[in-house]
Amino acid sequence: MQNIQINSDGICSEAKFIASPNIDARPNAEDISLIVIHNISLPPKQYGGNGVIDLFSNQLNPDEHPYYAEIAPLKVSSHFFIRRDGELIQFASCNDRAWHAGASNWQGRERCNDFSIGIELEGSDFEAFEPMQYETLESLITSIKTRYPIEAITGHSDISPGRKTDPGPYFNWSRIKT
Ligand SMILES: [Zn+2]
């Protein structure tokens, strides 16, 4: 997906919008300076289903998979989710705070959700991401940078070391370095 644009309401018209209830206001609406890259798949390492959408919508059925029983009570979200085929789904306006990073620290600043935009790639720590995912990601990052004063792009594992491993060893950072 190319030529993505984000409007002043923080909404990407090229994305499918599915509102997550797991959002709130940023403490400083002007401070949107970090992009955090994640990976996720539900069930783990299975792609194309509704697990991630259900999780971010508080609709995950704990009986559907043993892992779901563990994570169903979580209240989490992300601004964006990029499917294996490059499809872009948005769960929260970029102007709002999504709940993707949890306990985190970026260069001495804690609570990275306050000032970051979270992008989830459908994937795992165990295999490469798809070229179409990078295409969408590159275009999305360009559009985010056009709208917000982004200072850095980082991985979840970098801001929550020891607790998180995504986006994992297969994420190709050279694709998004400018
Ligand atoms: Zn993550």
Q: Encode pLDDT of 57-114 as tens digits.
A: 999 999 999 999 999 999 999 999 999 999 999 999 999 999 999 999 999 999 999 9
CATH code of the domain made up of 32-173: 3.40.80.10
pTM summary value: 0.97
| 120 noted as active-site residue | yes
CA of 118 to the centre of ligand 1 (A): 8
CA of 168 to the centre of ligand 1 (A): 10
CA of 25 to the centre of ligand 1 (A): 20
**Catalytic hit among 64, 70, 120, 122:** 120
Instruction: Band the pLDDT of 35: cuts 50, 70, 90.
Output: very high
Angstrom distance (rounded) from CA 107 to CA 84? 31
Q: Which of the 8 DSSP states describes residue 25?
A: E
CA of 78 to the centre of ligand 1 (A): 9
CB 33 within 8 A of CB 152: yes
